[in-house]
Structure 1
Amino acid sequence: MPLSLAYASRVAFTLAAALAAALLCLQLDTPLPWMLGPLLGTALLSMLGAPTDSAAPLRNAGQWTLGAILGLYFTPEVTALVAGLWWAVALAIGWALLLGWAFGAWLHRMHAPLMPDVPAPAMRATTYFAGAIGAASEMALLAERQHARTDLVAASHSLRLVIVTVSIPFALQWSGLHGVDLLAPPPRMVQPEGLALLAALTGAGALLMLRLGRANPWFIGPLLVTMALTMASVTLTAIPQPLVNAAQLVIGVSLGVRFRRAFLRTAPRWLASVAVGTVGLMLVCALFAWVLARATGLHWVTLVLATSPGGIAEMSITAKVLQLGVPVVTAFQVCRLVVVLLVVAPMYRWVYGAAEAPS
């Protein structure tokens, strides 16, 4: 069978299984069925050795759709509210950098003695970038420049992201803490001409971010374009719900396929430490969110999502589905990602006095 046909077959099988998992979760009334169903179903199949695969263009289209959706929340009134929280955003960024360093230091203390075959500088870089609260691909790339164990770094971020993405929505649904967003909802009327124009404009934004080499270009580009339009009181259209569901599905698949059989054989003690550490991160982030809620007057649950060690798309879509302050969550998560990507490597060299390793 030609490679392209085999790949297409794997993708088709995975999407069919993901759709079945989403429909099952709908029947079971689980939170975020269109994302968590595909994520968990695909992860289970992948770990059992099934021929699963994720198509990068579909994942990009999913991020594109979600970026456009979330930008519709940034009305002038909402933008003024978020802008007035700049000091809270700055505190959350500093908190994330400190927490990532502490997580990395804990991983180093736990695992450096267990991996004597890994050179000390490489081990230090491995644990540091594995602990940083940033995007998995970018952290793995930075770790590679320091000749670190990129497999451990990637495994750490994948496991952390899935634990956060799965546990927080379930916890919120069981607690009944949802629907507390008092901000105005985005437009609900779908306009075909407006949808086509919005797709063209946000697509151009994604391609620009891609050309500039920015992180998450298919999410950030559409988000910034739609934010700019909405802040200028330009409303082109709402996003059809089937597109929203499809976007969640392909993002869930892209997370689930990371969990191959080989993933489970990747230093089981390392994965166990990451799992325990991630639970600890969520608990201290929840405490930090409570303190920040007292200072800002925002709902605690909104700030839990805003400061959690999860990904932008996953936490923002959780906020959207559960009606928990989408603009605040998105603004906090986007600002954190940008600053972490800019600061985490210089911070490593400053803290540990390490020069960037030659390529």
Structure 2
Amino acid sequence: MAMPAFAKFLLTISVGSLGGWVMWHFHMPLAWLLGAMIFCGAGALLRMPLAMPKFARPPMTATIGAMLGTSFSPAVFEHFRIWMVSLGGLVFFIAAAASVTYVYFRKVGKFDHPTAFFSAMPGGLVEMVTLGAERGGDERMISLIHAARIFLVVLCLPFLIQSVTGHAISRSGSSYVPLDAIDLRDLGWFVAAVVVGVGIGVALRLPARYLLGPMVVSAGLHLSGITDFLLPSVFLGAAQVIIGSIVGCRFVNTPPALILRVLKLSFGSTVLLLSVSMAFAFMISRITGDQFVGTLLAYSPGGVAEMSLIALSLGIEVPFVVLHHIVRVLLVVAGSAAVFALKYDPFKSE
């Protein structure tokens, strides 16, 4: 008899929480996020009956959005003019990252043109799968490649930051805030930010609506001085477990041999992507004088929620990182369709 959906959900949360606790025990960076991701990914590889229902991500993403809003302050906008330089650089970053990754997938992965093209785009998992399938690409492979990209970028980035900068990342990723730090009034403002923010995001059809809507409302509440609520660390830990479990579960119901092939192939593409990200982050940070780590997070091709969560956990300038990832996804979605329409295949004669 098949396991009920709710039982699979509880099993997945248990596996993710166990992974977070193990990583916490061994003092690994961003323990709850990476532990949940690794353990659920391993569970998928072992064909465990894991599943994260569609209803799980929106409320947790909205919670993360409200958390991100708490980091807004008037000082954030003092550097907005500098941000324009790095935002402009995103166009060149996307072109460079997509080009080298496309060549890699054609030469090493032996993908056909549409599959390689939409697999190489650094952003927009759902959109790239949809566009790729409509244009003759291998829908399953594009989906798995993007899932693996997010998995490997999130997995590698904390260790990359530690090795390059020498800055140790704590296992919780942020300073501890006790559960009793929030009272009923603060809880009310938090719930209001989530509910109203989701409503606004859906009504305005914002990109990453469940993240941006609550973030904007929460930021407005903090910037106006209406409230200065901070969420306890247990909220952040739970968000990391849920998001990590969702990333790991993207490989569920996939043959283990195919998972290993995709991860092996994606490892090479992730090395290329992060190398390009580091090069651009170094150049932009030298030009603007902004911090290298923040720019690297802004240019790293992970998911919007995942990268924003890492920025929040590390105390990096969250609005800077969020804005760059939203713009990156919008540019990739709009630009990929336009470029593919040119019907240029550099390997057509091979």
Report the TM range for the smaller structure's normalisation: 0.7 to 0.9
Residue of structure 1 in register with 2:315 after alignment: 323
CA contact (8 A) 1:67 1:219 kept: yes
Task: Compute the TM-score of the two structures, normalised by the length of structure 1.
Answer: 0.84
* Percent of pairs with identical residues: 24
Unaligned runs of 5+ in 1: 116-122, 180-184, 354-359
How far apart are the structure 2 equivalents of 1:75 and 1:51? 44
- Cα drift, residue 350 of structure 1: 3.8
Aligned residues: 336
1:153 pairs with one of 142, 161, 168:
142
Q: Please show how residues 272-291 of structure 1 align to structure 2 within 5 Å.
A: 272-291=264-283
Report whether the alignment pairs 1:210 with 2:202: yes
Residue of structure 1 in register with 2:285 after alignment: 293
What is the CA deviation profile of residues 257-301 of structure 1, one whole-angstrom value per residue up to 9, with x for unaligned ones? 112362543386565333202111111211211111111111212
Residue of structure 2 in register with 1:196 after alignment: 188
How far apart are the structure 2 equivalents of 1:211 and 1:313? 20
Residue of structure 2 in register with 1:176 after alignment: 166
Unaligned runs of 5+ in 2: 170-174, 346-350
Select between 25-34 and 5-14 the one with higher mean Cα deviation.
5-14
Residue of structure 2 in register with 1:76 after alignment: 74
Q: Please show how residues 102-251 of structure 1 align to structure 2 within 5 Å.
A: 102-112=100-110, 123-173=112-162, 176-177=166-167, 190-251=182-243
How far apart are the structure 1 equivalents of 2:87 and 2:156? 24
Q: Please show how residues 16-35 of structure 1 align to structure 2 within 5 Å.
A: 16-35=14-33
CA contact (8 A) 1:76 1:231 kept: yes
- Cα drift, residue 78 of structure 1: 0.7
- Cα drift, residue 221 of structure 1: 1.8
Residue of structure 2 in register with 1:90 after alignment: 88
How far apart are the structure 2 equivalents of 1:151 and 1:19? 28
How far apart are the structure 2 equivalents of 1:140 and 1:231? 38
1:38 pairs with one of 33, 36, 45:
36
What is the CA deviation profile of residues 39-69 of structure 1, one whole-angstrom value per residue up to 9, with x for unaligned ones? 1011111111111111222222221111111
Select between 191-200 and 281-290 the one with higher mean Cα deviation.
191-200
CA contact (8 A) 1:97 1:340 kept: no
Aligned residue for 1:324, secondary structure, equals: coil
Q: Quick one: which amino acid aligns to residue 148 of structure 1? A: G
- Cα drift, residue 150 of structure 1: 0.9
Select between 51-60 and 226-235 the one with higher mean Cα deviation.
226-235
TM-aligned CA distance change 1:267 to 1:317, over 3 Å: closer
Residue of structure 1 in register with 2:48 after alignment: 50
Select between 272-281 and 148-157 the one with higher mean Cα deviation.
272-281
- Cα drift, residue 236 of structure 1: 4.5
How far apart are the structure 1 equivalents of 2:155 and 2:259? 23
Residue of structure 2 in register with 1:62 after alignment: 60
Select between 320-329 and 143-152 the one with higher mean Cα deviation.
320-329
Aligned residue for 1:57, secondary structure, equals: coil
How far apart are the structure 1 equivalents of 2:113 and 2:302? 23
How far apart are the structure 2 equivalents of 1:79 and 1:6? 49
How far apart are the structure 2 equivalents of 1:267 and 1:167? 18
- Cα drift, residue 83 of structure 1: 4.5
Aligned residue for 1:235, secondary structure, equals: coil
How far apart are the structure 1 equivalents of 2:93 and 2:118? 16
Report whether the alignment pairs 1:336 with 2:325: no
Aligned residue for 1:202, secondary structure, equals: helix
How far apart are the structure 2 equivalents of 1:170 and 1:304? 13
Q: Quick one: which amino acid aligns to residue 89 of structure 2? A: L
CA contact (8 A) 1:82 1:331 kept: no
- Cα drift, residue 176 of structure 1: 3.3
Q: Quick one: which amino acid aligns to residue 258 of structure 2? A: T
- Cα drift, residue 85 of structure 1: 1.5
TM-aligned CA distance change 1:235 to 1:47, over 3 Å: same
How far apart are the structure 1 equivalents of 2:93 and 2:276? 10
Q: Quick one: which amino acid aligns to residue 61 of structure 1? A: P
Aligned residue for 1:85, secondary structure, equals: helix
RMSD after superposition: 2.6
- Cα drift, residue 247 of structure 1: 0.9
How far apart are the structure 1 equivalents of 2:221 and 2:129? 34
Q: Quick one: which amino acid aligns to residue 316 of structure 1? A: S
Aligned residue for 2:117, secondary structure, equals: helix
CA contact (8 A) 1:61 1:247 kept: no
Report whether the alignment pairs 1:11 with 2:41: no
Task: Compute the TM-score of the two structures, normalised by the length of structure 2.
Answer: 0.86
